[in-house]
Amino acid sequence: MLLDGKCPSGPLSEKWDRHRRELKLVSPANKRKYTIIVVGTGLAGASAAATLGELGYNVEAFCYQDSPRRGHSIAAQGGINAAKNYPNDGDSIFRLFHDTIKGGDFRAREANVYRLAMLSNNIIDQCVAQGVPFARDYAGYLDNRSFGGAQVSRTFYARGQTGQQLLLGAYAALMRQVKTGTVRLHPRSEMLDVVVIDGEAKGITVRDMVNGHVGSYAGDAVCLCTGGYANVFYLSTNAMGSNVTAAYRAYKKGAFFANPCYTQIHPTCIPVSGGHQSKLTLMSESLRNDGRVWVPKRKGDKRASHEISNEERDYFLERKYPGFGNLAPRDIASRSAKEACDEGRGIGTSGFGVYLDFEDAIKRLGENVIRERYGNLFEMYERITGEDAYRQPMRIYPAPHYTMGGLWVDYNLESNVRGLFVLGEANFSDHGANRLGASALMQGLADGYFVIPYTIAGYLARTQPGSAAAVHPEFKKSKEDINSLTKKLLSINGKKTVSDFHRELGRIMWDNVGMARSEEGLKRALELIPELRAEFWQNVRVPGGGDDVNQELEKAGRVADFLEVGELMARDALHRRESCGGHFRVEHQMPDGEARRDDENFCYVAAWEFRGGNKEPEMHKEPLVFENVELAVRSYK
């Protein structure tokens, strides 16, 4: 089946305006008759729930954390892109659009990305109006910095805590609606199923994480804003609780999962220190504005960094990509670091690390300037490693960070299941095969503040409000399914902990479905993951009961889904016999080691349909059509 992204026709720059004109509206008096379920309260979820509440809809907002202020968007450090062109350095909506399409290695929809670039400016205006304290210059104007994959300064930032400040803005707007009574909050609640009635999403099944009660919530539409699945790698920069469960259970109810193999491995993270490690910590990409990435030229050179002279150092990003230097896009910077380490030139005791060195920047600008720009990041680095990055270079290594893949959505952010909308990282739509830095915050907020309020009306205007009540047999069935799943997990009583399985899955994924993928490795993963999954259902131990706080039970449900989505990722990666963005197949590379894309055969979105536990999923294609950019080799040289 060929999928239709339902992109409006006409000139690129007029598509969104025209579409908005044509979308149906719901009258103010009728809005309160509709109930919208929003799952997740990161940037996409909080901004969507707040805005839909402001418009007068009834909103039920869910999050697994104890407060909606804690979605993992909060950890985004560096910034948010917008095409304001305040620095007068040649930026424009078209340039932001073009950079994002190229950054995504020509695997995203033109119309979506252009809309994103257009809305980027509204986001900055909105956030300033909410009181987000962006960095400013001495005249009181907003300041910008540079990020990877761009030759203009278009990134707005709030120290090293931009995600936090943007999320607190959206959270504040959400809290205002809670006070008004349009939004009801459900913290410490985990969505475990979506209820689909006659092909339309009509509600969700949720476990109260405090008392274990499994309940039904009916609505006229469901918005999943539940983030990405990088925790499939066990070690990632995601929060411990970040999971694929909401998205994956929607996939099992018929929503297509698009491009699951597109994962972003972020180049600047603190290297792994030992087997006990529970997560990896990102060091913001903004550090690459002033830090220089290097390894020793000589293999196995284990001397301390200060003993290695400038001539003996290989500033490999500057050498290979002089046009962008240390600000090469993430996928390229990560792969280069991996190659250097694979050649035996990695630093640190494990040999899996490269230096990010601020010595030159400190000499040029003074330590105070560097402290002002990145002080909190240097401090965080010192807390974790015990090392002072003002005196010796940081050690960094790539780590799983973001997933470009996600549930398939059309231009309206609606999945193929009618009434099921997917926003932010949980969908697949805007970043293609690689996301540029400072674009995730932009997308989450564009989806929530400025896209969904329009497109959801187009759907609701065609449906009767309150058409499904939580007494429908489908709700009951969903609840029973979830209760029996809980019972099963608690009854296995095996020998290994949930984390044991998660760690093993992570190793399989990192080794075979990580930064460099081969046919052999992917086939191996497709054997190993089902074996591990089978063992999980025989041998996992989940202590405690189902009727109070049980964090092991929560983890078990999530890991069960990771054990399935990992296989789907490997399958998707195996089928895509080309290299593009974060997906690098070793069989498909240029003589100089750069990615070899295959536009003739793979210029499409691969959307997978679940067909039952014992059957292979079926792939559907959405062809990607480029009318405004030329499909070019993605060069940053």
Partner 1 sequence: MNLTLYIWRQKGPDKKGGLQQFKAENISPEMSFLEMLDVVNEQLIKIGQEPIAFDHDCREGICGMCSQVINGVPHGPQERTTVCQLHMRHFKHGDSIYIEPWRARAFPVIKDLIVDRSALDRIIQAGGYISVHTGGVPDANAVLISKKSADTAMDASECIGCGACVAACPNGSAMLFTAAKITHLAMLPQGKIEAARRVCVMTEAMMREGFGNCTNHYECQAACPKDIRVSFIARLNREFIKAQLKDTG
The footprint of partner 1 on residues 71-100 (CB under 8 A) is 72, 74-75, 84, 86
Task: Determine the size of the site formed for partner 1 (CB under 8 A).
Answer: 81
Contact call for residue 159 and partner 1 (CB under 8 A): yes
Give the strand order in the sheet containing 354-357.
Answer: 263-269, 394-403, 354-357, 292-296, 313-314
Looking only at residues 206 through 265 of this chain, which bind partner 1 when binding is defined by CB under 8 A? 210, 237, 239-241
Q: Which two tokens stand for residue 393?
A: 């270079």
Q: Which stretch binds partner 1 (CB under 8 A): 97-105, 163-171, 563-571, 581-589?
A: 163-171
CB 636 within 8 A of CB 614: no
Contact call for residue 68 and partner 1 (CB under 8 A): yes
Contact call for residue 173 and partner 1 (CB under 8 A): yes
Which listed residue (18, 136, 477, 487) binds partner 1 by CB under 8 A? 136
Helix axes 519-539, 473-492, angle to 10 degrees: 90
SS (HEC) of 239-276:
CCCCCCHHHHHHHHCCCCEECCCCEEEEEEECCCCCCC
Q: Which two tokens stand for residue 346?
A: 């990695």
Looking only at residues 561 through 620 of this chain, which bind partner 1 when binding is defined by CB under 8 A? none
Among 561, 448, 482, 456, smallest CA distance to 201 is for 456
Annotated catalytic residue 330: yes
Taking the C-alpha atoms of residue 407 and residue 52, their distance in angstroms, rounded to an integer, is 22
Radius of gyration of the chain (CA): 24
Which listed residue (20, 23, 94, 142) binds partner 1 by CB under 8 A? 142
Strands 604-609 and 618-623: antiparallel
Contact call for residue 23 and partner 1 (CB under 8 A): no
Taking the C-alpha atoms of residue 533 and residue 501, their distance in angstroms, rounded to an integer, is 8
Our CB check for partner 1 shows the closer of 2 and 129 to be 129
Q: Which stretch binds partner 1 (CB under 8 A): 102-110, 497-505, 558-566, 612-620?
A: 497-505
Binding letters toward partner 1, positions 449-478, x by CB under 8 A: xx--x-------------------------
Which listed residue (45, 187, 444, 506) binds partner 1 by CB under 8 A? 187
For residue 519, CA distances in Å to 110, 433, 512 come to: 30, 19, 9
Catalytic residue among 107, 115, 330, 373: 330
Q: Which stretch binds partner 1 (CB under 8 A): 244-252, 333-341, 399-407, 549-557?
A: 549-557
Q: Which stretch binds partner 1 (CB under 8 A): 24-32, 333-341, 536-544, 571-579?
A: 536-544
Q: Least distance (Å) from partner 1 to the CB of residue 163?
A: 8
Residue 327 neighbours by CB distance under 10 Å: 21
Our CB check for partner 1 shows the closer of 119 and 606 to be 119
Which listed residue (4, 67, 307, 616) binds partner 1 by CB under 8 A? 67
Contact call for residue 334 and partner 1 (CB under 8 A): no
Our CB check for partner 1 shows the closer of 76 and 261 to be 76
Contact call for residue 184 and partner 1 (CB under 8 A): no
CA angle, 596 as apex, 592 and 602 as ends, to 5°?
175
CA angle, 53 as apex, 50 and 58 as ends, to 5°?
135
Q: Least distance (Å) from partner 1 to the CB of residue 212?
A: 11
Q: Least distance (Å) from partner 1 to the CB of residue 251?
A: 24
Q: How remote is the C-alpha of 205 from its chain's centroid?
A: 24
Our CB check for partner 1 shows the closer of 284 and 336 to be 284
Q: Which stretch binds partner 1 (CB under 8 A): 30-38, 244-252, 394-402, 446-454?
A: 446-454
Contact call for residue 268 and partner 1 (CB under 8 A): no
Contact call for residue 138 and partner 1 (CB under 8 A): yes
Place of tokens 């691969």: 606
CB 262 within 8 A of CB 403: yes
Contact call for residue 57 and partner 1 (CB under 8 A): no
Region of residue 366 (phi > 0: left; psi between -120 and 50: alpha; otherwise: beta)? left
Residue 128 neighbours by CB distance under 10 Å: 14
Active site residues: 330
